[in-house]
Structure 1
């Protein structure tokens, strides 16, 4: 959840800043001076929509470090840190990727994330709470899950998906603004005007951006199953299932955990409203445990 929210937030901010800048510089009015040129508009939106997503991708590791207070283990200071670094290196070698940076952040909830713009420049971090509460084989399974994200290239794929969605968000926002402007220009009216057009585009981008987030969330849920499968392959199905079961147990302790864990951004598996299901970035724990058990049974 944390990783996805940071990415989406940065992406939306970049897209909105690009829209504001291009509008103020007069690029859009020049582009549409002769009316709606759909081909030119689509190319324009693709360039800047993809740019927003790529900037978010390149900033993802820096943003994650800053927002979580992650401390990178440059030189292990104790046996726990040494084990953590060695385990990540072992898993990375098994997954055929370069060893990511390893860090710990000061959160008491069970939490972990991986991020980075490519497989060979990634970061894997775990919370202090996860290290304190989980057994070593369970921590290894969590790390294997995160290494699975890196090996699968999930952040890059997410950036490409988001870039395409950005394109259509920006495109349809401007089409709506253009059509509304043309409608208001009937009978010699002045239309939306500079600020009115600008306001409609921004509002439409936010609305369409929220709708696009549903698609991103669906893709995120899909890739969690793949990361679980990778974690099971690297650390063993039993360890992966036990790690998820441990997290599920923590959610059921009174006053111990919220309904949503940020380790893998896991939900407790309780019934949820439709909107929560649509925007959930991760499947319920019960579904993920069931998928792992079914895969182990088939082997």
Structure 2
């Protein structure tokens, strides 16, 4: 809860600072002199409402979307010994982590992966692929499940939602400012909104959105290290390292839909500048961090 409150407080503080900076730089005066009469405070509120609304709607629908996109079937009554073991393992780990037991699901896929999602720590879903269950021994599967339960216990879904909301707010706010400036200063629109505003704001929002996504992905990579450490606590460090090495031998496969790829156990391989847009750090770095006791 303290982490969530800190992020909300940080968002509010940043918005306040941004408003002060705009005034100190005289941007409002410049815009008013050009006839824009742009209300920056109202624009900030509008940007925050839109930015956070999209993030929280996505969070609220996350479990439903994950089930639909992967075809995951929740284990209501275990049909065999394997399903009983998976369910009991997650139940035990959830008790140890001090959270309500997530829904446990299995989805049909040759991909070796698992993911966690949900609106809160006590309303989550942990799903594992049939490919992972077939390819890994139970010690490694236990560690993977511990990794996903740790994501839930750490509140990673809500944390990333808040971070995305902050990012969305800045993208919407700054893109509108750029649109106003281009429309008034270059297109010389006197009243209302001219074509310059719509064109420039859309282009700016796309560019700023791409750049801002690197911030979200950086946070995502950091929380993977924490989930690995949590998985090591729940299942054992040796098991967690073994699971990551198994994934490494399988060339880091991942065919999860983009909407939940960041919540999987392994991420897509990316090099060079593309690494800035990766949701997961390289498996070699994660293994090294565990071996060093990070």
TM-score interval for Structure 1 and Structure 2 normalised by the shorter chain? 0.7 to 0.9
Partner of 1:203: 203
Secondary structure at 2:168's aligned position in 1? helix
Partner of 1:293: 291
**Cα deviation, residue 56, structure 1:** 1.1
Partner Cα distance (1:128, 1:174) in 2: 46
**Cα deviation, residue 203, structure 1:** 2.6
Task: Identify unmatched segments of 5+ residues in structure 2.
Answer: 1-34
Residue 279 of structure 2 corresponds to residue 278 of structure 1: no
Partner Cα distance (2:86, 2:191) in 1: 62
Q: Is the 8 A contact 1:116 1:155 kept in 2?
A: yes
Alignment TM-score, normalising by the size of structure 1: 0.80
Secondary structure at 1:117's aligned position in 2? strand
Q: Is the 8 A contact 2:253 2:266 kept in 1?
A: no
**Cα deviation, residue 210, structure 1:** 1.0
Worse-matched range after superposition: 170-179 or 193-202: 193-202
Worse-matched range after superposition: 98-107 or 197-206: 197-206
Partner of 1:236: 236
Task: Identify unmatched segments of 5+ residues in structure 1.
Answer: 1-32, 252-256
Q: Is the 8 A contact 1:104 1:128 kept in 2?
A: yes
Partner Cα distance (1:74, 1:194) in 2: 57
Secondary structure at 1:116's aligned position in 2? strand
Q: Deviations over 1:187-240 (max 9, x none)?
A: xx5689555533332232222111111000000000000000000000000000
Partner Cα distance (1:174, 1:266) in 2: 34
Partner Cα distance (2:100, 2:283) in 1: 29
Partner Cα distance (1:119, 1:129) in 2: 26
Q: Is the 8 A contact 1:185 1:191 kept in 2?
A: no
RMSD: 2.1
Q: Deviations over 1:133-169 (max 9, x none)?
A: 1111110000000000000000000011111111100
Partner Cα distance (2:129, 2:183) in 1: 51
Alignment TM-score, normalising by the size of structure 2: 0.81
Partner of 2:185: 183
1:138-287 to 2 correspondences below 5 Å: 138-186=140-188, 193-251=193-251, 258=253, 263-266=264-267, 273-287=271-285
Q: Deviations over 1:225-257 (max 9, x none)?
A: 000000000000000000001111111xxxxx7
Partner Cα distance (1:70, 1:267) in 2: 21
Partner Cα distance (1:241, 1:192) in 2: 60
Residue 54 of structure 2 corresponds to residue 52 of structure 1: yes
Partner Cα distance (2:282, 2:154) in 1: 21
Partner of 1:99: 101
**Cα deviation, residue 38, structure 1:** 1.4
**Cα deviation, residue 117, structure 1:** 0.6
How many residues of Structure 1 are paired with residues of Structure 2 in the alignment? Answer: 254
